[in-house]
Structure 1
């Protein structure tokens, strides 16, 4: 291949990788600031306070006996009128005593069964029994801040809002695994992008740990769906409703117990990403969906497909171009140094020696490695909504 073509491929790969992780965020920030400046002289719309709506909190809980007592206590202590909050636990297939424990509490509703059908089937079943106008989904292994539901529902005073996502926060410590600490950094950046996405138009994908929807907008989701939170919220957005981001409502989750456990989780998410792209391919039509298509392509599709491909492409083309100039040589050395730090971070982590400065290169490399594993799994296996649970710290 002629060197001129190699240079073109190198610069395109570099641009797309930069855009996927930095450029889109910078563009979002600039456009949002411009939007605020243009609206600065306009009277801001204030929402009139309405009586609080009735809410159902749905909590899928398969074999969660180790944390279910804490989750129940957390749910009962939420700052929301008890007569307007229905707690619904779905424990189908649990064999560790989760159902028996919850059945002792008369103030909650428990949907039980002997067959495990997976999280999305549990949600589909639960939604048939919901009678409240708003439903909130949360995971059994997360804890919500006291005002979470109160904060979420305020947005529904706006009839254009179809769903509201809370924020996922990772509880990490100095002793956290490298993958877990890296996940925490990643979600801080994701939270910033979600905030900018929401200010521009709508977020593209809710956090499954805590999100809410108008009950009437729910449509049953395919039983083999892996990213149910993403599919549910995007199908609401495609109807023209806004999916709002509310960082003051948050769910705290501990990181994965080990790198192996985090890899298992990330591979499933990446597999679900490819599944979602196929099922939501119609959203890539900007003539029909406008700004939503741009956000979906930039924030999700590029991140799940284009960026991972650009990484090896960038390395190979840079290797071929390194002898041709000092610039390409310097960039190649920097790439090698970055991946060397990632490898050192992995080796130290395996020996329980943790250096936070190595979290970023390690997690960046680790995350993209799982994308390739996820793609292979998507094209070689039959997907199911039932998966092996990840052990948490």
Structure 2
């Protein structure tokens, strides 16, 4: 009985800490840091040469939007090289890029995944700073300037932009959960960056110093995450710049969002294996603390803790008359019931805001189990079926 109670409270603490407590702790540490440090002013007029690399696979429905958006970027033309790489595309994407722009185009009929395409494109990059963006995103005009100003500091090895989900009139229920998640994730990244460094960039928009780029191992699923953390492991900071952002439409349905989420989770477990040295908190100190708290706990520990917590609570209720545990059990049942109802509504594309949090929370943790299963079986390859996105209105 005592063992079950200890196990229950440990699991509850881990889940609370990973999703709520860590954010408050980081906010407190950032506030303390500000009391003892001067405000670090970035160099607004710092304009190094930039190579913007955009990977596009079968994006003929969106590529014209991307081309026009890229032409509108506010950065000196003589300092900006734009490279589109369309390896493996079987639609009109390469032809549309070639016919509607003067940007450099790299194309090979063979498809080997995004990591391979990135490595290939970098060989043609001529600039000091590499900026990576996905072809299904739109960037704000100032994004390149906002990213590169941080590189005036030699301590900065990379900078990530913010990801935003476009709100549209006919948004599906999937858009609400995805948008809510990215707002939460963006808030944590701002805090991580203010304290020291973010722990993992998103591929929609990030930048690195050319000399720090290491060819990403072929077969890497979330190459942006691995690349950014390896730069941090060298002692450099990876900053977060919310004034540089990439916007994209939400997944076209919860089925498509699940496909995307499971792939990311499978990639997360692969990344943890590739970055296992980063678990050494005695070597990497603050970086390891942030990595474990922000990533490892949420990907690998919390899903298991939720299951253990539920069944430990259930056994305690059967073995003990304590009202506290009965109350918590009722709360858990209500929470998962709301999540189930939210799932039913989401599958019917019915949006009820009060159900977003319980449903998407359970959805993310369920995806972690499915992703772990794929990781163990080794059947999540880099040649994945692209998840469907809502069309831009």
- Band of TM-score, shorter chain: over 0.9
1:66 to 61, 65, 87: 61
Does the 8 Å contact 1:180/1:262 carry over to 2? no
The superposition leaves residues 231-253 of structure 1 with CA deviations (integer Å, 9 ceiling, x where unpaired) of 11001000000000000100001
1:167 aligns with 2:165: no
Structure 2: stretches of 5+ with no match in the other structure: none
Q: Report matched runs for 1:226-375 at 5 Å.
A: 226-323=221-318, 324=320, 325-375=322-372
Tell me the CA shift for residue 179 of structure 1: 3.0
What's the CA shift for 1:321?
1.6
Measured after TM superposition, the shift of residue 175 of structure 1 is 4.3
Match of residue 7 from structure 1: 5
Partner of 1:91: 86
Which stretches in structure 1 are left out of the alignment for 5+ residues? none
Local SS of the residue matching 1:103: helix
Please, which of 6, 16, 19 is the counterpart of residue 18 of structure 1?
16
Match of 1:142 in 2: 137
Alpha-carbon deviation of 1:346? 1.4
Superposed CA RMSD: 1.3
Q: Deviations over 1:259-306 (max 9, x none)?
A: 110110001000000000000000111221111011111111111111
1:302-337 deviations in whole A, cap 9, x for unaligned?
111111111111110111122521111111111101
Map of 2:147 onto structure 1: 152
How far the C-alpha of 1:48 sits from its partner, in A, is 4.9
Q: CA deviation at 1:51?
A: 4.8
Deviation of the 1:178 alpha carbon: 2.9
Q: Give the structure-1-normalised TM-score.
A: 0.96
For residues 334 and 173 of structure 2, what CA distance do their matches in structure 1 show?
A: 18
> Who is 2:105 aligned against?
110
Give the superposition deviation at 1:196.
0.7
In structure 2, the CA distance between the partners of 1:45 and 1:96, relative to structure 1 (3 Å rule), is closer
Match of 2:95 in 1: 100
- Contact 1:20/1:299 (8 A) holds in 2: yes
Q: Distance in 2 between matches of 1:192 and 1:161?
A: 20
Q: Given that residues 43 and 150 in structure 2 are in contact (C-alpha distance below 8 angstroms), is that contact kept between their aligned partners in structure 1?
A: no
Q: How far apart are the structure 2 equivalents of 1:249 and 1:106?
A: 23
Question: Distance in 1 between the 2:168 and 2:45 partners?
Answer: 41
Could you tell me which of 116, 120, 124 is aligned with 1:129?
124
Partner SS for 1:135? strand
Cα deviation code 1:126-152 (max 9, x no counterpart): 011111000100000000011000110
Deviation at 1:102, TM superposition (A): 1.0
**CA distance in 2 between partners of 1:158 and 1:275 (Å):** 32
**Preserved CA contact (<8 Å) 1:179 1:363:** no
Corresponding residue of 1:213: 208
C-alpha distance in 1, partners of 2:7/2:156?
42
Residue of structure 2 aligned with 1:31, choices 20, 29, 32: 29
1:392 equivalenced with 2:389 (yes/no): yes
- CA distance in 2 between counterparts of 1:195 and 1:83 reads 32
In structure 1, how many angstroms separate the alpha carbons of the residues matched to 2:41 and 2:107? 43
- How far apart, in 2, do the equivalents of 1:284 and 1:350 lie? 38
Partner of 2:190: 195
Distance 1:47 1:261 in 2: 39
1: CA distance, partners of 2:220 / 2:103: 27
